[in-house]
């Protein structure tokens, strides 16, 4: 038995101080028809409007939870956000997950406990979408097994859990292990594969420490929880003198892995150098025949893939031949789009995090980087074409006061604009938001998001040109704030087109089931003109209740329910709809239809 709203659920949540802005658009050239539609919308929404939970106060943001650390977030695909974090306990830390919808409502009364990590000092959890409204969460579980002098020896196992949109843990308590072979797993990381599955990376410590050689693994996990690249996972390489690595999806079921390879200099000084990248396709085969290995004058700095998975950007620090940073673009087949040397960002005090890089649908890449103009530290913006040329003649200076402010993150929005997060250097807890159009020109800037931010910050799209910012303030809690595409805090913009306008119900109706007669299933459709509490039950000819199809509060809209009668005998049944309006002093609506089951 499945029930769903077959049109958009326009409003949800509880009355609070946020706001919802409805935007209408019409392709109808008739001004009269357009006016009638807009009037219908206005009166319908006034009867049903419910305000969002997002805060509009920069001094008091929405609190997700009372305390936490190591926050991560991902968009839910419907304007909301999933947030994962670790509890702030030294020897009893847990992984928690909460879901906020587009209006800032906490979907679950209390956060879900995903797993046990022991200590947050050596662990972190990651979250990615499962492309079905739910998420995957991966984490390291570290368990103390011995103490040598004052040194605690930990056993490490990496786990992954899948969580449905309604908060069900689909793979049991704690989830499943990504590999069954080792108990020395550390540094778990997680990406989606572009096809609804998950790919996990981790480091296997050979001698229980990070000092010398460690094995870098990846594993692909299916939607049903099956380990696809053997129960052990796939060995990517041996990492020497460190554990730094990154993975990103190729968007076709595979993964790009990048990492530094340590080497020993003549004077026996260990240097992390010689960056390497590998492409592993969906079946676990190495697509690039030879590992791509760059100059030993480079240090590995980061990895990102574009939104279509056709190419990746490999970001490296140049050392010691010159200072600065380079971005090297490698396409899906392992070829250098921008040449082997890539594009240089030569300023010797370059700070170029991956969060200041975005991809466009036409294979163009946009960067923000630290620069120096007339001996003044600034942050500049430029768009690079697929062949490595600048899109704009002049670099655009976004921040001419790098001493006091840093642009911290950049998000490519679904309306082809860019939303920026900026922080005050002297007071890093103060967050600002800014927005650029597709040509890098300001639409608005210096909007204060919060006066009380934190060091750990994540941003995701709100799905409508704005963004959601999530951060941790340790013992003070996990917080979130939303800003709309127009630069307003807590403003949820819902676009309504002609088709949606025409489908807004004007009365409560219950349609005749189809097919009728039926065997053994049938579809029941009904419409609500106002939000209300809905009961949809089925009774036999004696008036006995045989099925509860719906028993919940629902928003106005059009719905359909699948009624399964496999275990019922042939005969006449009645489907009865009761709806108590929330907007018209508790008015009761009652409708019923007769159905015939023939077996």
What 337-346 contacts at long range (C-beta under 8 Å, 24+ apart), as own/partner pairs, is: 337/311, 337/386, 337/387, 337/388, 338/384, 338/387, 338/388, 339/388, 340/294, 342/314, 342/316, 343/384, 343/388, 344/318, 345/369, 345/370, 345/371, 346/322
- Rg of the chain in Å (alpha carbons): 27
- Where would I find the beta strands (DSSP E) of 13-131? 19-24, 62-65, 69-75, 81-86, 93-100, 112-118, 125-129
Residue numbers of the chain with a pLDDT score lower than 50: 1-2, 6-17, 22, 24-51, 318-320, 498, 584
**In terms of DSSP H, where are the helices of 188-289?**
none
**pLDDT score at 92:** 82
The answer to whether 119 and 91 are in contact (CB under 8 A) is: yes
Cα separation, 93 vs 79, whole angstroms? 30
pLDDT of the residue at 262: 67
Count the neighbouring beta carbons within 10 Å of the beta carbon of residue 278: 21
Q: Which strand (E) or helix (H) includes residue 33? A: helix 31-48
Enter the tokens of residue 169: 């843990």
CA distance linking residue 175 with residue 162, whole number of Å: 7
Q: Among all chains, which residue has been given the structure tokens 């650390």?
A: 69
To the question of pTM greater than 0.85 for the whole model, the response is: no
**Domain ranges for the chain:** 3-51+498-597
**How far is residue 561's CA from residue 4's CA, in Å, rounded to a whole number?**
7
Residue 261 Cα distances to 60, 266, 354, angstroms: 46, 16, 20
Closest among 177, 194, 186 to 128, alpha carbons compared: 194
DSSP classification of residue 154: E
Which one of 3.40.50.150, 2.60.40.2550, 3.30.930.10, 2.40.70.10 gives the CATH number of domain 3-51+498-597?
2.60.40.2550
Task: Give the Å distances, CA to CA, from 28 to 24, 25, 43, 499.
Answer: 12, 9, 20, 11
Given a contact cutoff of 8 angstroms between Cβ atoms, the answer to whether 479 and 61 are in contact is: yes
Contact between 409 and 355 (Cβ < 8 Å): yes
pLDDT confidence of residue 552? 86
Closest CA to 101 of 71, 64, 66: 64
What is the reported pLDDT for 362?
75
Count CB atoms within 10 A of the CB of residue 401. 12
CA 442 – CA 452 distance, rounded (Å): 25
**Confidence at residue 467, expressed as pLDDT on a 0 to 100 scale:** 95
CA distance 595 to 599: 13
Please give the pLDDT value at position 45.
46
| Residue 228 CB coordination number (10 Å) | 18
Interatomic CA distance for residues 236 and 510, integer angstroms: 58
DSSP letter at 356 equals: G
Q: For strands 491-496 and 19-24, give the pairing.
A: parallel
Q: How far is CA 537 from CA 337, 574, 585, 587, in A?
A: 61, 8, 23, 19
pLDDT, position 11: 39
Half-sphere exposure of 78 (CA within 13 A, CB side): 17
pLDDT one-digit tens code per residue, 527-537:
988 878 899 99
């Amino acid at each position: 038995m499945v029930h769903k709203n077959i049109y958009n659920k326009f409003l949800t949540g509880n009355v609070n101080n946020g706001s919802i802005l409805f935007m209408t658009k019409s392709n109808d050239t008739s001004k009269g028809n357009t006016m009638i539609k807009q009037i219908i919308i206005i009166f319908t929404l006034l009867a049903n409007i419910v305000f969002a939970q997002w805060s509009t106060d920069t001094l008091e943001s929405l609190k997700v939870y009372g305390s936490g650390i190591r926050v991560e977030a991902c968009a839910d695909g419907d304007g909301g956000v999933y947030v994962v974090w670790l509890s702030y306990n030294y020897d009893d830390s847990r992984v928690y997950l909460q879901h906020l919808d587009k209006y800032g409502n906490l979907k679950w009364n209390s956060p879900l406990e995903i797993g046990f990590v022991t200590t947050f000092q050596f662990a972190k959890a990651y979250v990615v979408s499962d492309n079905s409204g739910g998420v995957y969460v991966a984490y390291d579980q570290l368990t103390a097994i011995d103490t040598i002098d004052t040194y605690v020896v930990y056993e490490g196992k990496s786990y992954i859990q899948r969580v449905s949109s309604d908060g069900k843990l689909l793979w049991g308590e704690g989830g499943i292990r990504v590999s069954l072979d080792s108990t020395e797993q550390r540094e778990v990381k997680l990406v989606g594969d572009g096809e609804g599955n998950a790919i996990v990376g981790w480091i296997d410590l050979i001698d229980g420490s990070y000092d010398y050689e460690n094995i870098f693994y990846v594993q692909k996990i299916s939607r049903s929880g099956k380990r696809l690249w053997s129960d052990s996972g796939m060995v990517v390489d041996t990492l020497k003198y460190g554990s730094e690595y990154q993975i990103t999806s190729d968007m076709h079921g595979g993964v790009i892995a990048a990492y530094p390879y340590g080497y020993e200099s003549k004077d026996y000084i260990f240097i992390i150098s010689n960056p390497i990248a590998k492409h592993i396709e969906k079946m676990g085969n190495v697509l690039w025949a030879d590992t791509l290995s760059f100059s030993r004058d480079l240090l590995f700095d980061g990895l990102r893939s574009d939104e279509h998975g056709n190419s990746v950007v490999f970001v490296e620090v140049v050392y010691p031949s010159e200072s600065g940073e380079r971005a090297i673009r490698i396409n899906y087949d392992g070829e250098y789009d921008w040449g082997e040397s890539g594009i240089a960002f030569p300023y010797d005090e370059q700070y170029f995090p991956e969060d200041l890089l975005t991809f466009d649908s036409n294979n163009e890449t946009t960067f923000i980087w630290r620069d120096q103009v007339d001996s003044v530290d600034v942050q500049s913006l430029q768009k690079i074409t697929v062949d490595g040329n600048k899109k704009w003649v002049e670099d655009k200076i976004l921040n001419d006061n790098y001493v006091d402010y840093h642009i911290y993150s950049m998000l490519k929005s679904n309306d082809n604009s860019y939303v920026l997060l900026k922080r005050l250097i002297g007071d890093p807890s103060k967050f600002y938001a800014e927005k650029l159009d597709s040509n890098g020109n300001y639409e608005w800037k210096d909007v204060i998001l919060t006066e009380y931010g934190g060091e750990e910050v994540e941003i995701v799209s709100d799905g409508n040109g704005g963004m959601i910012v999530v951060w941790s303030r340790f013992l003070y809690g996990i917080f979130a704030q939303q800003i709309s595409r127009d630069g307003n805090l807590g403003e949820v913009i819902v676009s309504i087109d002609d088709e949606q306008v025409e489908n807004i119900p004007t009365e409560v109706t219950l349609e005749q089931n189809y097919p009728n007669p039926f065997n053994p299933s049938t579809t029941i459709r009904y419409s609500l003109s106002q939000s209300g509490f809905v009961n949809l039950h089925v009774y036999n000819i004696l008036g006995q209740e045989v099925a509860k199809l719906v028993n919940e509060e629902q928003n106005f809209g059009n719905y359909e329910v699948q009624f399964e009668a496999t275990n019922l005998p042939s005969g006449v049944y009645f489907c009865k709809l009761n709806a108590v309006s929330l907007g018209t002093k508790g008015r009761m609506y009652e409708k019923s239809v007769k159905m015939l089951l023939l077996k």
